[in-house]
Structure 1
Amino acid sequence: MEAKERQIDKTTINNEPGTLAKPASDQPWMEYVQPVMDTLAKVPDYIGEFFADNKKPLITIGLIVAGLVTVKVTLAVLDAIDDIPLLAPILELVGLGYTAWFVYRYLLKEENRKELILEFEALKTQVFGDGPNS
């Protein structure tokens, strides 16, 4: 058997990173493919411009979607916890115990109520600032 001669494909090789080798333009279908390739090469620029022009609305939409996902996940976790036998009543007992401790610690005596009011005022000052202009 004689070895068949290989035909050399007429392509131009571009060694630049991120670019594809382009077939020779003497093929008839290239006039249809070239505009598509040019448009697809510009897609990252179009996407970058879109994100640059609409940054704030996209962030707002992203935060809303993240909030909805967080609410759904939280509800699913709470539903799963509720399905565990005896866990819900135990958590209710813990809540009642903490409420009883809080009443005993801060609400029964006058000096403890004053301490609670001072702690609340300090927290309010820390969050909102000292005065109306702060």
Structure 2
Amino acid sequence: MQEPEIKTVEQSPVGIKTEPAGQIAYPASEPAWQEWAETVSEFTSQLPNYIARFFSDYKQPLLTLGLFIAGIITVKVTLALLDAINDIPLLAPGLELVGLGYTGWFVYRYLLKAADRQELVAEVNKLKTQVLGSDS
């Protein structure tokens, strides 16, 4: 069996550097905060260009996201408004009576007779051509 080889390393004496009393050594380069401040200053000067490029690159997804968020906000505001109206005494039952009265009038005016139904269909078709345009 072979014994492992042991190597010895000579260590050099550690030198202590001393400075004359009252003198402080400063690094030759500028402080780190000035480098950081220059980087921040350069970034903020280019920020409008970065933002403009970002919006031009992602115009369609940002528009879709904005419309989606606006839709959610609109639904929440509408539900809050309806809840506030529903809390007013006698207003909700009054509006229900108005709705029932209009529904009864609409049925009597347009749905009971065949001639009235044809008149309703003609009015709906006329409105449809005004909104969508003619097929010709």
Q: Equivalent residues in 2 for 1:62-101 (5 A)? A: 62-101=66-105
State which of 79, 99, 113 in structure 1 corresponds to 2:117. Answer: 113
Relative to structure 2, which stretch is displaced further, 104-113 or 60-69?
A: 104-113
Equivalent residue of 2:89, what SS? coil
CA distance in 1, matches of 2:88, 2:82: 10
CA distance in 1, matches of 2:52, 2:79: 36
CA distance in 2, matches of 1:79, 1:32: 54
Q: Equivalent residues in 2 for 1:45-60 (5 A)? A: 45-60=49-64
> Is 1:44 the counterpart of 2:26 in the alignment?
no
Relative to structure 2, which stretch is displaced further, 32-41 or 43-52?
A: 32-41
1:46 Cα deviation after fit: 0.6
Equivalent residue of 1:84, what SS? coil
Give TM-score scaled by structure 2 length: 0.71
1:125 Cα deviation after fit: 2.7
In structure 2, what residue type is equivalent to 1:108? L
Relative to structure 2, which stretch is displaced further, 27-36 or 79-88?
A: 27-36
> Is 1:30 the counterpart of 2:34 in the alignment?
yes
State which of 113, 129, 132 in structure 2 corresponds to 1:125. Answer: 129
Give the total of aligned pairs: 107
1:120 Cα deviation after fit: 1.3
Determine which structure has greater relative contact order: mean sequence separation of CA pairs < 8 Å that are 6+ residues apart, divided by chain length.
1
CA distance in 1, matches of 2:54, 2:131: 37
Residue by residue over 1:75-106, the C-alpha shift from the partner in whole angstroms, topping out at 9 and shown as x without a partner, is: 00001111111111100100010011111111
CA distance in 1, matches of 2:127, 2:57: 40
